[in-house]
Chain A
Amino acid sequence: MGYQIDLKKMNAILADLSKTYTIYAPKRFVGDGTFAHIDTIRYGEISDLAEIEFAEKSNYSFKEVLLPISETLFYFTENEMKEADARAKGAIVFLRSCDLHALKRLDTIYLENGAVDSYYKRLRDNTKFILMGCTQSFENCFCVSMGSNQTDDYDAYLKVDGETVLLNSRWEALDDALAGATAKDVVPDFVTENDTVVELPEAVPQALFDAPFWEDYGNRCIACGRCNFVCPTCTCFTMQDLFYTDNGKAGERRRVWASCHVDGYTDMAGGHAFRNDKGQRMRFKVMHKVNDYKRRFGTHMCIGCGRCDDVCPEYISFSNCINKLSALVKEDN
Chain B
Amino acid sequence: MLDLNTKKIKKNAYRVTKVRGETASRIRVPGGLLTADLLPLIQHIAETYGNGKLHLTTRQGFEIPGIKYEDMDAVNTLLQPIIDKLEINQEIPGKGYTAAGTRNVSACIGSNVCPFATYNTTAFAKRMEKEIFPNDLHFKVAFTGCANDCIKTRMHDFGIIGMTEPQYDKDRCVNCQACVKACKKKSVDALSVENFRIVRNTEKCVGCGECVINCPTRAWTRSPETYYRLVIMGRTGKRNPRLAEDFLVWANADAIVQIVTNTYKFVENYIDRTAPGGKEHIGYIIDRTGFEEYKKWALEGVKLDQRTIVKSPVYWGGIHYD
Closest to A254 in B: B196
Contact (Cβ within 8 A) B111 A69:
no
Interface size class of B (residues with CB under 8 A): 20 to 34
Contact (Cβ within 8 A) B216 A42:
no
Bound form: Cα–Cα A261–B120 in Å:
34
A contact residues around B164 at 8 Å (CB) = 36
A contact residues around B173 at 8 Å (CB) = 69-70, 256
Contact (Cβ within 8 A) A262 B176:
yes
Number of interface residues, chain A, beta carbon within 8 A: 29
B75 sits at the interface (CB 8 A): no
Bound form: Cα–Cα A238–B194 in Å:
17
A contact residues around B218 at 8 Å (CB) = 29, 32-33, 40, 42, 60
Q: Known interface pairs A36-B117, A36-B119, A242-B195. Does A68 touch B171 (Cβ–Cβ under 8 Å)?
A: yes
Contact (Cβ within 8 A) A245 B115:
no
Contact (Cβ within 8 A) A224 B216:
yes
| Residue of B111, B175, B212, B226 most packed against chain A (CB within 10 A) | B175
Bound form: Cα–Cα A36–B221 in Å:
9
Bound form: Cα–Cα A40–B221 in Å:
10
Bound form: Cα–Cα A34–B216 in Å:
8
Bound form: Cα–Cα A41–B118 in Å:
20
B contact residues around A34 at 8 Å (CB) = 115, 212-213, 215
Bound form: Cα–Cα A77–B215 in Å:
33
CB distance from B182 to the nearest CB of A (A): 10
Contact (Cβ within 8 A) B172 A70:
yes
Contact (Cβ within 8 A) B174 A69:
yes
Q: Please tell me which one of the listed residues B175, B195, B209 contacts residue A256 in the complex, with CB atoms under 8 A apart.
A: B175
Contact (Cβ within 8 A) A229 B171:
no
A31 sits at the interface (CB 8 A): yes
Q: Please tell me which one of the listed residues B117, B119, B171, B213 contacts residue A70 in the complex, with CB atoms under 8 A apart.
A: B171
B222 sits at the interface (CB 8 A): yes
Closest to A72 in B: B171
CB distance from A98 to the nearest CB of B (A): 21
Q: Please tell me which one of the listed residues A70, A226, A257 contacts residue B170 in the complex, with CB atoms under 8 A apart.
A: A70
Q: Please tell me which one of the listed residues B172, B213, B221, B224 contacts residue A69 in the complex, with CB atoms under 8 A apart.
A: B172
Binary per-residue interface labels of chain A (232-267) against chain B in the complex, 1 for a CB within 8 Å, 0 otherwise? 000000001011010000000010111100101000
B132 sits at the interface (CB 8 A): no
CB distance from B183 to the nearest CB of A (A): 15
Contact (Cβ within 8 A) A256 B222:
no
Closest to A70 in B: B171
A contact residues around B174 at 8 Å (CB) = 69-70, 225, 229, 256-259
B contact residues around A245 at 8 Å (CB) = 194-195
B76 sits at the interface (CB 8 A): no
B214 sits at the interface (CB 8 A): yes
Q: Which of A249-306 contact B (CB under 8 A)?
A: 254, 256-259, 262, 264
A330 sits at the interface (CB 8 A): no
A contact residues around B171 at 8 Å (CB) = 68-70
A19 sits at the interface (CB 8 A): no
A82 sits at the interface (CB 8 A): no
B205 sits at the interface (CB 8 A): no
A contact residues around B215 at 8 Å (CB) = 34
Bound form: Cα–Cα A68–B170 in Å:
12
B contact residues around A258 at 8 Å (CB) = 174
| Residue of B119, B173, B196, B215 most packed against chain A (CB within 10 A) | B196
B261 sits at the interface (CB 8 A): no
Bound form: Cα–Cα A60–B214 in Å:
16
B286 sits at the interface (CB 8 A): no
Closest to A258 in B: B174
Q: Known interface pairs A34-B212, A36-B118. Does A229 touch B196 (Cβ–Cβ under 8 Å)?
A: no
Closest to A59 in B: B218
Closest to A251 in B: B195
B contact residues around A262 at 8 Å (CB) = 176, 178
Bound form: Cα–Cα A226–B196 in Å:
19
Bound form: Cα–Cα A262–B173 in Å:
14
CB distance from A315 to the nearest CB of B (A): 14
B contact residues around A70 at 8 Å (CB) = 170-174
Closest to B170 in A: A70
Closest to A265 in B: B176
B contact residues around A60 at 8 Å (CB) = 218
CB distance from A27 to the nearest CB of B (A): 12
B contact residues around A33 at 8 Å (CB) = 218
B contact residues around A35 at 8 Å (CB) = 111, 115, 117, 213
Binary per-residue interface labels of chain B (126-141) against chain A in the complex, 1 for a CB within 8 Å, 0 otherwise? 0000000000000000
Bound form: Cα–Cα A29–B219 in Å:
13
Contact (Cβ within 8 A) B214 A224:
yes
Contact (Cβ within 8 A) B222 A257:
no
CB distance from A128 to the nearest CB of B (A): 23
Contact (Cβ within 8 A) A226 B175:
no
| Residue of B164, B174, B195, B196 most packed against chain A (CB within 10 A) | B174
Bound form: Cα–Cα A34–B222 in Å:
8
B contact residues around A256 at 8 Å (CB) = 173-175, 196
Task: List 4 additional A-B contacts (Cβ < 8 Å) besides A37-B111, A69-B171, A257-B217.
Answer: A29-B218, A36-B164, A42-B218, A70-B174
Closest A-B pairs by Cβ, 8 of them: A36-B111, A242-B195, A226-B216, A240-B196, A256-B174, A257-B174, A262-B176, A32-B221
Q: List 10 A-B contacts (CB under 8 A).
A: A29-B218, A31-B221, A35-B213, A60-B218, A69-B173, A224-B216, A225-B174, A243-B195, A259-B174, A264-B176
Chain B positions within 8 Å of A, measured between CB atoms, are: 111, 115, 117-120, 145, 164, 170-176, 178, 194-196, 209, 212-219, 221-222, 224, 226
